[in-house]
Each structure stands twice: as C-alpha cells, then as structure tokens.
Structure 1
C-alpha cells in the first residue's frame, strides 16, 4: 500500500496497487536498451506513465440479463489501469492496477462518482511527480512541493524542543519569538521563505514592537535554529536566515555568561556558604567538573565513582548524547566528603527536590537557576551578566591560566572541537598581563 501524499486539495486517493509484469521479471543492463526501444515513449508525451483509464470488467454476476442498469454497474469489477516507467528501478512499461474500495458500494451513482474522483486524483498526483514504486521519492516530493506553512513548522519544532528537555524559560523565549513569526506569515510555506522575507519580519518588529538590538538578534538566532531544524528534516534545501545580517548594538554574545571576576566569585561563594549550602554545592560542582547545569540536575549517585575518582555522565542525560567521563580532582573529592554520599541509595539523585542531597526525586528544573540569581540580586551583582554558565566559563579560564592545555580543557568539557572550547576562553585577554613578556628572537 502506498499512502496518499496529499499533493492536491481534497484528494482521497489511497492506492493499493496490483502490479502485473509485462516485461521480464528483472531487466538487466544488457536488455535495458531493448526495453527502451520497445517502449512507446512518444505515446507517453514526455511523461513516465500512460494516461490512467477507468476499466469496467464484466463478471459472471453482471452478465445476468435480469439485472437493471444500476445492478449491473454494482456487479461489475471496476479498476484504474495505467503503465509506468522508472529506469532507475529497472521498470519499463510496468502495468499498474488499482481497485481498492471501488467495488464495495451499494449505490451505483456513488460508485461512479467515487471512481471518477479516484481517477482525477490519480492523474493529478502523477502530474505532480508521484511515483507508485518509490515511496522515498514521494516523501521528498511531499516536503518540496506540498511543504508546510510556517505555523505548522513551528509546531513541529516546538515538539522537537520539548524532546530536548530545555529549561522552561528557554522554551518560553523560543515560543514568544516564533509566535510573532507565525502570526506575521500565517499562510507562507517554509520553502517560499527568503532572506528578504525574514528581514521584512525583523524590521517590522523592530519598528512596530520597538524591539531592542538584543531582542532583534535573539529572534534572528531562534529563526535560524528553526530553519536549521527544517533543513535537517529536508523541508527546505537551504537556510534563508544565513543571508540576514544581525544588528550591531551594545549587547554582544560576550555579554552573556560572563566570566565572574575573582572578587565577585569570592563574594558569591561566601554568601552561599552561609545562606544557601545547597546552591553553594551546585555552583562548586559546576566549577570543579564543568558539568552542565541541566546534566547536573539529572546526575544520580551511582554515576559518582569516588573509589576511582570519576563521574560518568551517561548518554541519556548528556547534551551531546554521548557518554562522558569527568575526573574528580583531589580538592573536589575532599569537598565531597562532608556529604557522606555513600550513605544514600545509589539510584537516588545527587541534587534532589526540597533542596536536599541524595533524595529519590531530582531537583526542580529552574530551582538552581533561580536561587543563584537570587544570590546575585542580594549582592547587587544581577546586572553583571553572570549566570550559572558563567561558573563554567570562569572554571575554564582558571584552568587555562593554571596551565591546562586546550586539549585537556576540551576533554573535561566534553566538547567536540577545540574551536568550541575556545568560545569559553573569549574573555581570556582580560586576565593576561603582557608587560613582563619578551618577544623571542
């Protein structure tokens, strides 16, 4: 059975084809030329198929002279027949028959109406490139010709993001920007989107909604991510956002997740040590392991191997979907002793609900984030551009300045490339003194 790909409006065709061979079962390379010659390409008029026809075969029952015209119509065996050629599949002049659902009617007029509708639907499908023998080709055809609207693509992408288990706040940011995009182009197909249309949308929002450069660039990034998803899913052949320029403004990528200044980091650690031991542990764990906050929330005690001084982050919770191993440094191991982790069930979580250690339920999705931001606010540091990811950036800069190589930093962060690691060191020039350095001769 070949599913209807719905290339035309209000089509109900769902062919179940009976294939009748009129050529040898396998057309070899040696006799393909012969098959081409005996096939009447002129009759096809540059199409790989002959015109579909509705055939009405008599049956033993339909030959009964006592039947009325309507009864005879119902007793006949009706089917649609045509011939199709696909040389890539070694098919030449292949006869195709479809009778599914055509002979089950109890009303002659309905049978005829349905048959005509089936015939016209099949003709339209074939004209638009549908292939009765190649479902993979039909799937691509559905995506390139039928395509989907921008709101439909946004719904698909939102489902994809939900499977990625992003933080609720991140999802809300994506949804708000994509909502504007879908409302601006409610009927536009994704394969009709150009960089000019995206520019028009962003410029309108900039003017009408008074978007700042930061909001404009955030929307640019989110729409770019949407079309990257659509490109990977074969709904589009290129990403139109690539030709749209971001705005220059006071906010640059380095304004997010800034490296925490030494004096500020000391203030944060001292405050948490007195007022919020749970968040202090969470921040310390990020600093010593460079495990992402989302991964840390899902870390179970069985993944913390104190005997072998390592933490294993399994693929099911890892951002890159690969199992990774992080060393437990001597200082971090000494720090962990105060929690007596071996006294808890191994299936329990390192960071659990109710802001406790070693509980059966993992800590809430946004709990560490909100508690860390609350700390920053108490210390009047909430305007410095610091986030939980800043702790990871701070750790990477400290490692580099402490003599770690880029390869070692890449390994502990479980990055896929050195260039990815270098993004964490983008503020390194602020921490390096050149005054005492001589240029080698």
Structure 2
C-alpha cells in the first residue's frame, strides 16, 4: 500500500475533526493509499506542539510555507480561517501538492476564481483539489441524492433549507474571528449558509440561478476577547469592537431546473445547536433530512395507494446504504465525525485512481457565487442573478 503523507494547516475545531478522520479512514475502509499524519502547522509553538501530541501528528511547525516546500508531503489540508485559504492553496498547488480546503472556499469570488483556475491547471499534472463540504458525506444525504436521481419524487417543485445555531445569542460573547469580515468573509451566510447551498444543489442536481435576500446583524458591538483566550470569555474591561458580518441571512431562490427555494441561516435561533434541515418536494413525493436525526431520512411516496400514504422514516444504517458497509450492524447509528472520515475516503480514492474529487474547487466557486449574489441582493433589496461557475484556464 502506498502512502499519502498529509500536512495540515490549522488545528482548532476543524483541525481536530480532520485529524480524527485521517486517523480513522484506513481502519474503516480498504483503500489503495494509507494516510499518514505527517506534519501539523499553526502559529503558536506551544499550541501546535500540544495539538500534534493530542491529535496524532508526527511533527509540527509554525511555518506553513516550509511545510509546503517539503518533498515528503503529498497533500495539504487547509483548516484555517477563510482569509488565508487562497494564499495557502495557491502555494500548495504550485508546489504540486494535492489540496483539501475547508469551506467556504475563499472570502471572495475573485479569490475563489483564482483558486479554481489554479486547481484546473494543476490537474493537468495529476494534482487534485477538493473543498470540504462534509455534509455531502452523511449517508442519509447521499441516499437522498440517489433517490432524487432515480426519479422517486418526480419533478422537483420546492426546496426548503435551514441551518439554525444559537452560539452567539449572548451579546457578551466575544468578538472572535468568525464575527470579523476581513477574516471570515461573511457571518452565518458563509459559515453555515454555504453548507445548505452546497447540500441542496448536490442532492437536487440543480443550480441556484437567482436570489432575493436580506441579512441582519443583531448585535453590532461585542467585547474584545482576551489575547490568549480564543473562544473563551472576553477579558474584563478590554473594550468592544464592531461586528462586521451578518448574524442571519434569509433568501428566496430559483433553481435552474424550475424549482423554487427558501434558505435561512442564523446563529441567533435560541435553543438550536446545529439544526440543519432540508426538505425537497416533488411531483411524486417528498424527502426530508434533519441533521439532529442524522441516521434517518423521511420519505413520502405519493405513488402508493392513498390508504398507505404518509411520511415513512428510513433508518439509514443498512450495509447497502452509502458508506455504511464500513461501520456497524444495522440499526447502530454513526455520528458527525463520520462525515469527515467519508470525505477523506472519497478524496483518497480519487487521488489513487486519478479521478476528479467532488466537490471540486470549481464546484465550490459555484457556492461562492451564490453567497456573493445573496450579499448583493441584501444590499440592493432586489433579485440578483447568480453567475454560472466557469473557470478560464491561465
């Protein structure tokens, strides 16, 4: 078995999730390459050293540029805030490294377009790049896509998608990087809205073609965090700073296959921790997925006799369901971390077989174009067309 030597940049929430997946993937799946947790990079020497020991990385560094320059690294996994995605990814692709980049791909359409073009150019030399939209890899979501593609719900009429969180409801929660536009690009829109944009386009096979949006920032000033506290409580008497991103984003959309849609992304839905829900209504039935019941898929089959109609619940734990043959006996559920393991599995297989992984950087550019259109629509209070995702080679 060949090796896939991984260097990861960033080691916080997403870094921990990715590390778990890299450690697990070869134990769960029979793959042509063995993932090696070679080097993790971060800005703090003490922090990255501790993370390397805890998360299972063989080495650590505070210089991501030296990591990319190493000959003994095959893939760069980017788990940093959005303001550094483009710089790291472009350098890695230029150095001939495969790239996995967390979502959203970038902080702007211009950056995303440059990254997608670089990925297309690198592909000529066998270098692969993928954006990490992990919810695609939830088995129930993958099954939803299969059922829609097989025509089980007929012509799609309606799409409803929400992603509800409440972690910044408290106005005393500090001004972390996710609340600063120069670092995060946008707020709830890019952080969690990007997921439901990608997920609905993925399962329906339709592209969002136009949007009408509004955004809102409910708490406009927040306490500055203590310098070393990360996501901890703010320092006493440290002053406040402006919140420069949205707290909530809502929009109507038309899809290019004729469906109409509603989207809501907010971090102010009090009581909701990770409430991602998608419902698709078609001419022959409906499908609904709720991440808080992630091993289930609701299915309404309008082709059954009237006396037998009603939403049924599919327990997505059978070995012939997507990804599930690697795990436990039927009825034994899996969790959030498995979506990342499935992500690494698909990426490793694509690299080993010379295939294009999905979502590609071009696919992720398509999501970025939607996010940009939503922001422009909210600013102008008008419908905005979404540009198709195309990449011009250099």
Which structure has the larger Rg? Answer: 1
Q: Which has the higher contact order (CA 8 A, sep 6+)?
A: 2
Greater strand proportion:
2
Query: Is the structural similarity TM-score above 0.5?
Result: no
Greater helix proportion:
1
TM-score range, shorter chain: under 0.3
TM-score by length of 1: 0.19
